Structures are given as structure tokens and as C-alpha cells.
Chains A and B, each alone.
Chain A
Amino acid sequence: MSDVYAGLFYFAAFVLVAGLTNKVIQYARTPAPLKIPTTPAPTTKTGVALRLTREVVFFESLFRGSKWTWIFGWMFHFGLFLVTLRHLRYFLEPVPMPIQLIQPFGIYGGIAMVIGLAGLWGRRFLVDRVRYITALSDHLILALLITIGLSGLMMRFVVHTDIMRVKQFFQGLYVGQVYTLPADPLLLLHLLLVAVLMIIFPYSKLLHAPGLFFSPSRNQVDNPREQRHLAPWARRLEQD
């Protein structure tokens, strides 16, 4: 069992990293021939960095667009963020101070994350416009995440697992050594789904995370009059 999971995680990590790198390189390589920031837009690079930060941290545009989605969406993502930080304790040795301090908040994050997901999912049934645009995959991703969250919370609050062994297992993977993974069903479920998540990440709508940073309507500086902006392929037109 431990061997299977070890293999699975090597594979998942490879897919995640390779797939994502590939995607990011593709985005970065594709030119943006025209200046199309949604205005009013910042006129400096710092301004753009701030704008993106606000989008990433507060989901500013979503806030303006839909308050309910924002509440649940933000709860979910912020929860996920805290959970991720908390989870670093399994992957780092020694555990850095900030990660130690964040531990208790990670648990609240886990709860918030599941509530947020439930809200987002509910909306897919209740709002007719959203129901119309929802594909099966949208439901499945939500189901996946919510199951990961619930199994995690179950381990935290109801059926405890042997954290030491879990960490040991992942520490071992770094050096190619397979330690025994505790054979707790919840843990195995949790980890299986996490691996699935890692594998689908580069091939699904989860690409929105890197996508945001490459969105021209958000990441461009509003200075077309001051600076000529020319894509390589457009420059070739000029040489004709």
C-alpha cells in the first residue's frame, strides 16, 4: 500500500509540476499584441502589482460582481490558503516559525474552506444562470475538494491518524525511501484524492490560478500613449 501511494505521489507531483510549468511557459510565450487593460487601470508597474495583489488577495472584481459568490469563494480560497500553510508541517523539516504559528488557524481555515465550498456548490443548483453554465466537471471538482476537506477534518476531530508516520512517509519520498504509511482509511482516501487533484490541476479550470497573473486586462500598465507596445509578430508586419 505504501509503495502504491509512493508511486502515485511521484507521478502526481511530476504531472503537476511539468504540466503547470508547461502551461506557464506557454502563457508567457504567447504575445499580447495590444494594450487592453480594463480601465481605469494603473499607469505604473507598481500600480499593476497592487491591482493584481488586490485581485489575488481580496478577489476585488468578484466582490464588485457578486457578493454571495465572493463571500463563499473567498472563504474557500482563504481557508484553502491557511490549510496549505498548515500542511507545510508535513513537508518541511524543521518546521519554520511562521508555519508553527499558523497551525491553529489552519484548522479554522479547514472549516471555512468546507463551508465555502458548500456555498459554492449550493449556488450551482440554486441560481438558474449558474446552473446553465455548469458542466459535470464543475460539480466533480467541487465534490473532490469538499471530500478532501471533510476527510481532513474527520482526521482532525474524530478519527485521529498517526501524524508522525505521515510526515515520515513524505520526508522519505524526498530521498527515495518508502516508509510505511499508516493504514487509516480516511488518510488513504484523503491522500488519494489529493493526488487526483494534483493530476487534474494543469488540465482543468484550476488553471485560473496562474491564469489571473497572465490576464492582459489585469496585468497591463495603462501607458499606451507614453510607450509603444509592439508584439514580435506585429513588428514583422511593419517590415513588409
Chain B
Amino acid sequence: MKNESEPTNQGRRDFLGAAAGLTAAAVAPGMVLHTVDSEAAAPTGGVSDAHRWGLLVDTSKCADGCTACVDACDQENGLNLQSQPLGDDELKWQNQRATWIRKVKLQDNLTGQVTNLPLMCQHCEHPPCVDVCPTGASFKRADGIVMVDRHTCIGCRYCMMACPYKARSFIHEQVDQKLTRAPRGKGCVESCNLCAHRLDTGDISTACADACSAEGHQALVFGDLKDPTGPLRQALAKKPNRQIRQDLGLNTGVRYAGI
């Protein structure tokens, strides 16, 4: 698996550089940064294509009934602060509220074997959501994280139509409660951003992976797909793994072992 995907990554990097021109331009090199206020933490140096962040999900370790990763993501990104609008249908609301990660339970049609796995944005290398977005609000950062610039998203939902993983959510209602680190408002589309705010401040972790470990399942391994010595590549090497809908050739950043 590793051998199959990594060289491709490497080879495509130049292409990516061009495609993500916007990204490159936005990373103003040599920006002079001042610290005015002692309270503000030192700003970080910006993202680069030296990394490509990814996850490995070991479905065999993912426990039935556990939702720790989902809960952690909800808290981390303020999703738990959404509230059902008065008068909305309960079931419809479940289908309308934003969900960045969901717990999926499958049964093999032949063997009847049940598999559990968390499903979030797969951070495709060739993301259909980015291809279709008319304004370029859906974009891929240099470090491979696919996310939505909600300042330019017009809420057309075309990316949701395009995503094969149903990874994206539209904010259907007004949002009153929000966290400083996770702004959110009616009318835009959003999805898992691999906890970008953590990475940007130098912390190599995601809330979901942390939570899974905290629960003791260790089903989620986060890391840099480009770092041969990093934990992710090591884990990938240990376990046979694949991508969901590998047939589409999107080269996702999230890999699954055991399906």
C-alpha cells in the first residue's frame, strides 16, 4: 500500500504546486511578524508541502459502541454547540446538523461480520470537492488538508454533491454559540480539517486520535504521510490497508486497515 501511494504523491507534487497556486500565494514568504501584546502566542510559520497529513484507521481496534472520537471532534470544533431550531423535525435535524466525523457500522453481506469505523473527510489528494467548487472556497492546503474557506464559500453545496464520502455538512441554521477557534455560521459548508488549528500551532495531533488513545483503543493513528520514520508511515507499513472507494483514484489521506 505504502509503495503504491507514496511515489505517486511525490510525482504529483509539482502539479499540486500549480493547482494550489492560491495557497502558495497566500503563504506570504518572509512576512514580518510582530508581537505587540505579550498575551498573543507566537504565530506559526505557515504550512508547507513538506508534510502531508493523514490518518490510519485500524477498524479491528475500533470498538462497537464507542463514540469517543466523534464526541471529541464535536467538542474540539464546537459542533456540540449547535442547537436544534425550534420546530424542526428531530430526525430531519439529525440529518441537517453538521457532522465532521461519524461512526459507521457495516455488515459483510457474505460473512455477516460486523465492522466499526469512523468516517470523516478523507483529505483526498485529488479532491472532487475542490474540483467542483465554483469560487475556490474548497481548497487543499499545501500540507494536504482539504478545507473550506468560509469567507468565500457561497453555500452552493456543489462540493457536497461531489464528495463520494458524504463527508461534508451544510450549516442549515443560525449558530449562536461558537468557539473562538472554530467559527461557524449559517449558509456555509464545512468538514473535518484534521484539526488544522492544532497543527498550525505545532501540535502534531488531532482530537479524535487523542480521544481514541485516551479510551485505550488506539484505533486512530495520525501523522505525516511524507515522513518515512513518522508513526503513521510505520503503522501503515505494519498493516495492510486500503482507501474507501479506491476505484475512484482520489488517493485519500485517510486509510483503513481491516476492510
A touches B in complex, CB < 8 A: no
Chain A residues within 8 Å of B, Cβ to Cβ? none
